[in-house]
Amino acid sequence: MTRALVVGGGIAGPVVAMALQRAGIESTVYERYPHAAADVGAFLTFAVNGMDALRAIDANGVVTGIGFPTPTLVFRSGTGKVLGEIPLGGSLADGTVTQTIKRAEIYGALQDEAARRGVDIEYGKKLIGAEQLPGGGVRARFDDGSHADGDLLIGADGIRSTVRKLIDPAAPEPRFVPVLNVGGYARGVDVPVGPGTFEMTFGKRCFFAYAINENGEIWWFANPPRKRQPSQAELEAITDAQWRDELRELFAKDNGPAQAIIDATPGEIRAWPTFDMPKVKTWHNDSMIIIGDAAHAASPSSGQGASLAIEDAVILAKCLRDDRDIPTAFATYEGLRRDRVEKIVESAARTSNSKAAGPVGRVLRDLFMPVFLKKMAKGGDKSAAFMFDHHIDWDAPVSV
């Protein structure tokens, strides 16, 4: 094995290329966007298990300084009552805590670091097909008429993965989670918390969350409920003024700063749908494999999408390092990853559905959530430890 083709330059792609390099395997990353760090998405939570996975390949410094720490979650009801407070993932041995980072900035930082280490990244390369070669290996074909040959192909191409469908044409489509995402950045609003805390409000009609950057900027998002997935054309037809009117109405009966924050947000407000991936039965064939969101996208409520993708990238590289028989290495990787990621995907789906709860569901949620959060705060919730305490030792041989 001498060469890997990596499709996708978001988070998993550059990280798997750097990890493969450390394992002695050459790779090239093919990114469909025409330039580095395309300004896609808004911001994300980068949990400590993702930072720990980056440390396995000495890349944790890449994200230092591009976000801000958010180690605490405070939950409120629409009345303003505090339902509970919990740590957001704890901390690593050196005190590193969960960070909130703009998506475009972490993309750019990881791409730049991969390039600095000598990884070849080609932009403007949209994959349209791939096939296994008769003598072994795989050929990837791109929409500009070019192709590339390698010993294996890694699909790190996100929730709308082309590689997933090439491996299994019957693979499921992304599953719509019954809320939209809308968000932005504001200044000049007095709020009841300072830097380091993410405020999460289960409003009477809509979920709202915000955190304060150390420079005073408020980063916020809301999840307007939608039972039916709107088309892209329907979303594009909704104007900034219409979104602001809808959000003001959704939060009119809540006791909190949501309306003031939205009113203080400059620029145009837009929304996008929320998806996750139901169970993907087939992750690989003899020469192609999917990782990250291509295989197991969790809804944003998990705060784990970026971290799980980085874990995937590092562990796959370890599997290929320790067993140069590609199908065997792929099978080992799946044995190590499937149970963990599918549990987190389903947990996140339950959280997202609770954001769209009806009147009865809201009453029950607000009644039982304080008990649950108190248990988590005291360390009695094993699911939190399961997510955040995951550690990767690069030097240890892989074993299922």
> pLDDT tens digits, residue range 245-299?
999 999 999 999 999 999 999 999 999 999 999 899 999 999 999 999 999 998 8
Other CB atoms within 10 A of residue 211 CB: 26
Closest CA to 346 of 383, 306, 391, 400: 383
Asked if residue 56 has pLDDT above 80, the reply is yes
Range with top average pLDDT, 20-29, 67-76, 345-354: 20-29
Rounded-to-integer distance, Cα 339 and Cα 348, Å: 15
Rounded-to-integer distance, Cα 355 and Cα 252, Å: 17
Asked if residue 229 has pLDDT above 70, the reply is yes
Q: Is 138 helix (H, G, I), strand (E, B) or coil?
A: strand
- Whether residue 209 lies inside any domain: the answer is no
Question: Residue 223 pairs with which residues in a beta bridge?
Answer: 207
- Whether residue 43 lies inside any domain: the answer is yes
Question: Would you list the DSSP string of 293-330?
Answer: HHHHPPPGGGS-HHHHHHHHHHHHHHHHHH---HHHHH
State which residues form the domain around 346: 3-67+100-174+277-360+381-388
- Whether residue 259 lies inside any domain: the answer is no
- Whether residue 137 lies inside any domain: the answer is yes
51: left (phi over 0), alpha (psi -120 to 50) or beta: alpha
SS3 track for 141-155: EECCCCEEEECEEEE
Q: Are 34 and 331 in contact (CB under 8 A)?
A: no
- Whether residue 323 lies inside any domain: the answer is yes
Which helix H or strand E contains 91, and what residues bound it?
Answer: none
The least confident of 21-35, 38-52, 149-163, 246-260 is 38-52
- Whether residue 250 lies inside any domain: the answer is no
Number of folded domains that form the chain: 1
- Whether residue 393 lies inside any domain: the answer is no
Confidence of residue 355 (pLDDT cuts 50, 70, 90): low
Closest CA to 362 of 227, 250, 203, 247: 203
- What CATH code is carried by the domain that includes residue 338? 3.50.50.60
- Whether residue 168 lies inside any domain: the answer is yes
C-alpha torsion sign, points 234, 236, 240, 241: negative
pLDDT of 40 reads 46
